Copies of this chain bind each other. A is one copy, B any other.
């Protein structure tokens, strides 16, 4: 460590023997070393430590650095706490099931995206109710895009909202189904297609599902259990990203996405 600080000029020995190149330090340098170590222990890098020691930073800048560090530490702390919960959950799974899950849930950020979409409603979130509605919806969406000459920039996404519309009491517990396809950011409203922005989602629990959408429900339920077991809760409408949709429905690859927030 002292060799390194000598090499980068952070703490030079008080004396270096010319023939043996031995480094000699004075007791007074111990205080200086302590300042370095104390600042380093706060999590500052050596270059930052150097600026602070050389008094190249004003009190205001110093306060800024400390405030930033505080925010970084708070973020790291939250991440590590979440990691710890996940590790513990895996240990529990090993104890109870004798194996580790291979259907991996990944927490990720979802980018904001401008989409062209069509909507319809269904009675519930079960595949029996969704399927007959979403299939023609997607077909119509694809046709409209073709007619209007709009080029999709990504994969089809479906998302589902609980209608909170009191104007039509009969429909108040129906689900609104959105079939959405990402388009170029500059795309403007056009006749017969809604252009909306899917909001950015800070954290979403995601899982890849492979198979027919008729049998997706257990995977959605597994995702819900994961969210609960790992200290999160649902936070917003769920999405299905159709990654690959070949002829054979059993070969479909879908990413299920559920926005979450720490419970």
Q: Which residues of A contact B (CB under 8 A)?
A: 27-28, 30-31, 34-35, 37-39, 41-43, 59, 62-63, 66-67, 69-70, 73-74, 76-77, 80-81, 83-84, 86-88, 90-91, 94, 98-100, 102-107, 206-208, 210, 243-244, 253, 255
Contacts and interface: CB of A to CB of B under 8 A. Distances in A.
10 contacts: A30-B243, A30-B253, A31-B104, A31-B210, A42-B83, A42-B86, A59-B94, A62-B100, A73-B84, A80-B80
A62 B102 CA distance: 13
- How many copies the complex holds: the figure is 2
A43 B141 CA distance: 42
Nearest 5 pairs of A and B residues by beta carbon: A38-B104, A27-B244, A27-B253, A73-B84, A31-B208
A253 B34 CA distance: 13
Contacts of A34: 104, 106, 206-208
Contacts of A38: 104-106
Nearest to A98: B59
A27 B254 CA distance: 9
Contacts of A91: 63, 66-67, 70
A206 B102 CA distance: 49
A87 B66 contact: yes
Contacts of A35: 102, 104
Contacts of A88: 70
